[in-house]
């Protein structure tokens, strides 16, 4: 029987229940896997900050694939191993298109989501369930206007962005990811396998 070196699994709708909780049964199963030396890798559309502490603290959870493959993170050492992100120009282009429609968008900058009041204060208008709303509020930074605070030209003339917000967003702008679709072109699991020197692996994905 081939040995298993890594289990990569989705969080929402797979490992977690409908209320975003880790069941005792799933927790115990993962602990047993960790005792066998298996790496447990959360593989999620969430940003790094969206991975709950209960999961981070599980034995065997050292790495994560986040933002639908946009970032491979070393959770224990709080560093990015690999990043596949959009350029500043392309990100602003996509945000400008999304802004023409009744859509809620939240780019990810350095592992955390950015949003604006008209979105986060009215999430029910976008079909976001109460459970997801709670999670979003805990993992987003709010700025007056996402596009203006991320556009260098707008930042020079707009009074909407505070100096603190503009500085913070500008610092991470080159590392911008968009949580738009699960078809995001990003990192594959084999990049983590190479990092861990794992040759054979079975994938258990949701």
Can you tell me whether residue 85 is helix, strand or coil?
A: coil
Our answer to whether residue 17 is catalytic in this structure is no
Radius of gyration, CA atoms only, the chain: 18
Percent of the chain that is helix, strand, coil (3-state, to 5) = 40, 20, 40
CB 68 within 8 A of CB 182: yes
CB 119 within 8 A of CB 106: yes
150 closest CA partner among 91, 105, 200, 102:
91
CB 134 within 8 A of CB 117: no
Neighbours of 67 (CB within 10 A): 28
Would the CA dihedral through 52, 67, 112, 8 be positive or negative? Answer: positive
Catalytic residue among 10, 12, 99, 141: 10
Active site residues: 10
């Amino acid at each position: 029987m081939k040995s298993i070196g890594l289990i990569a699994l989705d969080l929402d709708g797979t490992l977690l229940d409908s209320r975003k909780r880790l069941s005792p049964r799933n927790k115990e199963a993962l602990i047993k896997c960790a005792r066998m030396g298996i790496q447990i890798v959360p593989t999620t559309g969430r940003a790094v900050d969206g991975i709950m502490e209960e999961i981070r603290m599980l034995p065997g959870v050292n790495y994560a694939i986040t933002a639908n493959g946009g970032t491979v993170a070393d959770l224990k050492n709080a560093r990015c191993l690999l990043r596949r992100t959009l350029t500043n120009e392309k990100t602003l282009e996509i945000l400008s298109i999304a802004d023409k429609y009744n859509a809620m968008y939240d780019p990810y900058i350095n592992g955390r989501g950015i949003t604006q009041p008209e979105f986060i204060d009215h999430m029910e208008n976008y079909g976001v369930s109460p459970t997801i709303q709670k999670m979003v509020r805990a993992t987003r930074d709010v700025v007056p206007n996402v596009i203006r605070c991320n556009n260098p030209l707008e930042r020079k003339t707009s009074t909407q962005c505070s100096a603190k917000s503009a500085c913070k967003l500008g610092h991470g702008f080159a590392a911008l990811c968009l949580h738009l679709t699960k078809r995001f072109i990003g990192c594959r699991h084999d990049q983590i396998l190479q990092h861990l020197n794992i040759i054979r692996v079975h994938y258990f994905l949701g």
